[in-house]
Amino acid sequence: MVIHVVGARPQFIKLAPVLEAFRELSIPFKVLHTGQHYDYGMSELLFKSLELPGPEYNLGIGSASHAHQTGMMLTGIEEVLHNESPTLLLVYGDTNSTLAGALAASKLGIKVGHVEAGLRSFDRRMPEEINRVVADHLSDYHFCPTRRSVELLKAEGIAGMLTGDVMVDALQRFSNMEVKSPFEPPYILATIHRAENTDDHKRFHAIWEAFQRISKDIPVIFPVHPRTRDRFRGILQHPARGVKIIDPVGYLDMIAMLREAQCIITDSGGVQKEALLLKTPCVTVRETTEWPETVEAGGNRLVQAERDAIYAAVKIMLDTPVQANAQPFGDGSASQKIARFVKEVL
């Protein structure tokens, strides 16, 4: 039996096609939700829109400091593993849930598989980078989304398996559904949630000022992460006329909004890929990215968290045609490859 450990919105998206592949091959599994994302729009709504069954376990950890949150996850995951004695534990991506799952299982001698292994931004200031590196070095099986991720693992003495990206699988499965964006184009879609931008008030205020300036030319739609809303409730209550603050939306609505936007402003790794695959220009407010393939394909532009730099980058990308480029990320069969490996090897 396999335990899937997830806890955050991007992991739920990655989980959906993998569970479908597991069901097709009759591989027994249970889902453990750490509760890292607990807001309705970030958790329950997403499970519904992805047609995911409710998790067998929900630890309900919620928000806390990295150390406190990871510690509580370790305790809760360990208890579940003692009760279930799974053959394999699968972790996804680069969150604290990823780190806690890999650490708890490895200390109990349970095999660990890492879905989306081998990514590197080479910026150790990012908590996600620490989580990726540690999870990879604790894992027994490494399911790599790109050839670059295989090569990066090889340089660290780890053998990775090239599967492709499970988010491509999810996008192919759900993007064909006839869901229209709840907002009429033209608009810019913005998603900002990473600690480097939301824990630094100067950076976030510069990003917010960029939204205000851009909105004079084209409306900006900003679905706000609950943690971002809590930190900046005061300024978010007084946006410019062209900036619309909304709660997080379901996956299908988000894909429709990404597809119909004129440009994306983000710090999310998943959104960078989805923008490229949907042929929407993207500006990423970060100094580095774990998905350099999006920049090399011409669909993504990295920019400093400065008002004028963000504005200028958006103006450039609005005039930059983007060609859909799924090649670096596989053909949509990553979930099946992972499931077959689990079935045959374990």
Query: What is the rounded distance in angstroms from the CA atom of residue 11 to the CA atom of residue 342?
Result: 19
- Collapsing DSSP to helix, strand or coil, 84 comes out as helix
Q: Exposure of 190 by Cβ count < 10 A (0-12 exposed, 13-18 middle, 19+ buried)?
A: buried
> Residue 332 region, left (φ>0) first, then alpha (ψ -120 to 50), else beta?
left
Query: What is the rounded distance in angstroms from the CA atom of residue 7 to the CA atom of residue 9?
Result: 7
Query: What is the rounded distance in angstroms from the CA atom of residue 135 to the CA atom of residue 153?
Result: 12
Tell me the one-letter amino acid at 141: Y
φ, ψ of residue 21 in degrees (nearest 5): -65, -35
Q: In what order do the strands lie in the sheet with 2-6?
A: 57-58, 29-33, 2-6, 88-92, 111-115, 141-144, 161-162
Query: What is the rounded distance in angstroms from the CA atom of residue 67 to the CA atom of residue 51?
Result: 32
Radius of gyration of the chain (CA): 19
Query: Which residues are 111's β-sheet partners?
Result: 88
In 117-273, the DSSP E strands lie at: 141-144, 161-162, 188-191, 220-223, 243-246, 263-266
CB 137: neighbour CB atoms within 10 A?
A: 14
- Collapsing DSSP to helix, strand or coil, 74 comes out as helix
Residues taking part in catalysis: 193
